[in-house]
Amino acid sequence: MTPKHFSPMNTNSTPNKTNLRKWIVAVSIVIPIAVAALFGIKVEGVDFSFLPPIYATINGITAVLLILALTFIKNGKVALHQKTIQVALGLSVLFLLCYVAYHMTSDSTPYGGSMKALYYTILVSHIFLSVAVIPVVLFTYLHAWEGNYQKHKKWAKFAFPIWLYVAITGVVVYLMISPYYGH
């Protein structure tokens, strides 16, 4: 049963659920493979070295939005929750585009600090969870979009902490590596 204050995000006729699920699985596979493949491509003559602080900021804003979205839903502000999550999703796409653009035009920066083990532990967990979060967030969103709020809530219990961790560690990784850019 759907609470009265909830309204399905999808008010149009629902597309075939099987097709949407296949699309989510495909996107969840294609994005990491494409990102990995694009790391092998270097575009010369383009300088996107200004992007890391921008995409770190995007991660930080996403983290704040996720916390706001949780606060909104806990206070029954469903429309604000929905809009906040939609903005967070849009920022995640923008982050991905900036991240790929930077790494296609710049060499990797090695970490040169004394906390190398901590840095790489955070970085590796961030990378693996950023891959895992794609289908989790998309399926969580799909359940809300379809009006299946019981399933949405169950999935959100996993999606929220993973997505928040990825957003926060994106900022932490940037702060740890930024002193070594250009060296």
| DSSP secondary structure letters along 110-174 | PP-SS-HHHHHHHHHHHHHHHHHHHHHHHHHHHHHHTT-HHHHHHHHHHHHHHHHHHHHHHHHHH
Indicate whether 33 belongs to any domain.
no
Q: What is the pLDDT of residue 3?
A: 45
Indicate whether 6 belongs to any domain.
no
Indicate whether 175 belongs to any domain.
yes
Split into its structural domains, the chain has a count of 1
Indicate whether 32 belongs to any domain.
no
Indicate whether 56 belongs to any domain.
yes
Indicate whether 27 belongs to any domain.
no
Range of the domain at 170: 43-180
pTM of the model: 0.88
pLDDT per residue, tens digit, the chain (183 aa), is 344 445 555 555 455 777 899 999 999 999 999 999 988 888 999 999 999 999 999 999 999 999 999 999 999 999 999 999 999 999 999 999 999 999 999 988 999 989 999 999 999 999 999 999 999 999 999 999 999 999 999 999 999 999 999 999 999 999 999 999 875
Indicate whether 28 belongs to any domain.
no
Indicate whether 10 belongs to any domain.
no
What's the CATH code of the domain at 68?
1.20.120.80
